[in-house]
Homo-oligomer: A and B are copies of this chain.
Amino acid sequence: MAAVRRSRLTIDERRDQLVRLGTEIFAQRPFDEVSIDDIAAAAGISKGLLYHYFPSKRDFYVEVVRFSAMEMEALTEPDPSLEPRARRSASLARFLDYVESHAQGYATLMRAGIGSDPQVAAVVEEVRARIVDRILGGQSYAGDRPPAALRIAVRGWVGFAEAASLDWIDHRGLPRDGLRAILVSILGASVEAAAAVDPRIQTE
């Protein structure tokens, strides 16, 4: 019966299923330690069939990263019913939960190694750009486009969040909500610091 159900999956559904499985595999083990055989074995399919869906381990990984990025972005989608500070705080709690439960995958992705593969790096860079846009979308400023100081400060904050969370999963020693409080506070400070150098930027 399971086999029958399996056979009814479309190619896209099967690919999706494999990518979801990949997020679990790469959340726990570094890219270099996972072989195509491991992935095929975990999926209960042959290596040949796996290659039918993904031409290489790298292509599979790029899709896993793309899916993880979507998943993380959906998880951290701001809740419009909350006031700004609580909204950020809630998003950041979910971001840190995600980082914590995908520690190995997050570290692999954000560090030198496969994370610097041009296609993988492009996905990461797109995610950063969307996070920056999301934050800028919630800010008030005079003019059509965000002033450079605001964009630079928000981009800086994304760098802060990445570096701080990598240090956190490496060494711990701080509860999740401690790091969350720091990130919320630095985001506020970033907008204020940008507003101090460019009066077109409004603080809350």
Q: Which residues of A contact B (CB under 8 A)?
A: 111-113, 115-118, 120-121, 147-149, 151-153, 155-164, 166-168, 171-174, 178-179, 181-183, 185-186, 189-190, 192-194, 196-198
Contacts and interface: CB of A to CB of B under 8 A. Distances in A.
A16 to B, nearest CB: 27
11 contacts: A111-B121, A113-B116, A147-B173, A148-B173, A149-B178, A151-B167, A159-B160, A160-B160, A174-B197, A181-B193, A181-B197
Nearest to A167: B155
Contact of A155 (B118, B158, B163, B190): B163
A151 B173 CA distance: 10
Contact of A112 (B117, B148, B157): B117
Number of copies: 2
What DSSP secondary structure best describes chain A's contact surface? helix
Contact of A148 (B148, B171, B197): B171
Given A178-B197, A197-B174, A159 B164 contact: yes
A194 B174 CA distance: 10
A193 B185 contact: yes
Contacts of A155: 163-164, 166-167
A20 to B, nearest CB: 26
Nearest to A182: B193
Given A155-B167, A160-B186, 8 more contacts: A112-B115, A151-B167, A152-B182, A156-B182, A159-B162, A159-B163, A174-B197, A174-B198
Contacts of A181: 193, 196-197
